[in-house]
Copies of this chain bind each other. A is one copy, B any other.
């Protein structure tokens, strides 16, 4: 068990942030302000601050994927910037869609600036991501952009399924996995291979990194699902049991309901059929999900996909240092508490 944060996360932040700031500087001031706030570069008044932003898993994966095929990490920087922009585009829109008023212990962009600003700012980040990849007239950039838009389409489809499932009672395990693979797996697969793509690496290496990222994405999302019910609000910055309150059909609930009929699954199903749950009912639903094995199955699911991710890297000639960092990063993703 790894308890420290992998060094690659801060290394990637240092290497990618100047380019990310350079890209954001190209936006008109009206769009730049909400982006600086969202990325944790400015407070609500626009004054510069430095309070973190996200973990930066995607840029770190992008850099390591170049290094893994023997290329310098600088080759991957446009890919890392593009991934971070697309990821944040999705957060800006998802916060509106999911009616989330807080992210990382601060008001979300829509809650502070308004829904219109959150929409247009997200749109701007998506377009900017592709500009960054396509502005050099090269084949590698075009292939990286193609991979990014395909993954983004999958991510959007996953989010659309997630939304549709909220108003559905029955969601099968297969449907849930398809949704989570789209929502998180596709973009992590792109992140974990974009550096190799930009470096012009051979297809089998790109494909192995993509498979690593895809499984890592499933493990990542499973851990997110666990934190969405049992995470500590002080650490995650989300309200307790938030996923159950929002009637999300995430893995723990779907695993629990897949179990054979019992008094507990009947009670859980009846609770899910309710329109809005009281605080007490949400609490009870979390207990029932756990009692029906939903928590345990999801933990096991994350472990299986962590193993599959690491297995995808085996038997390929990756640069050993980067390979080791990819292994560490995968463990960190599954063992994190926020």
Contacts and interface: CB of A to CB of B under 8 A. Distances in A.
Q: Is the interface of A mostly helix, strand, loop or mixed?
A: helix
A157 B123 contact: no
Interface in A278-298: none
A9 interface: no
B137 A153 contact: no
A157 B93 contact: no
Nearest to A90: B123
B142 A119 contact: no
A116 B31 contact: no
A127 B142 contact: no
Interface stretch (A158-166, A218-226, A322-330): A158-166
Contacts of A128: 153
In the complex, the count of this chain's copies comes to 2
A116 B93 CA distance: 8
Given A120-B97, A134-B142, A143-B137, A127 B115 contact: no
B117 A163 contact: yes
A96 to B, nearest CB: 6
Nearest to A98: B116
Interface in A22-37: 27-28, 30-31
25 contacts: A28-B157, A30-B160, A31-B156, A93-B119, A96-B115, A96-B116, A97-B115, A98-B116, A115-B115, A119-B119, A120-B163, A122-B123, A124-B157, A126-B126, A127-B152, A127-B156, A128-B153, A130-B130, A130-B145, A131-B149, A131-B150, A137-B143, A139-B142, A142-B142, A145-B145
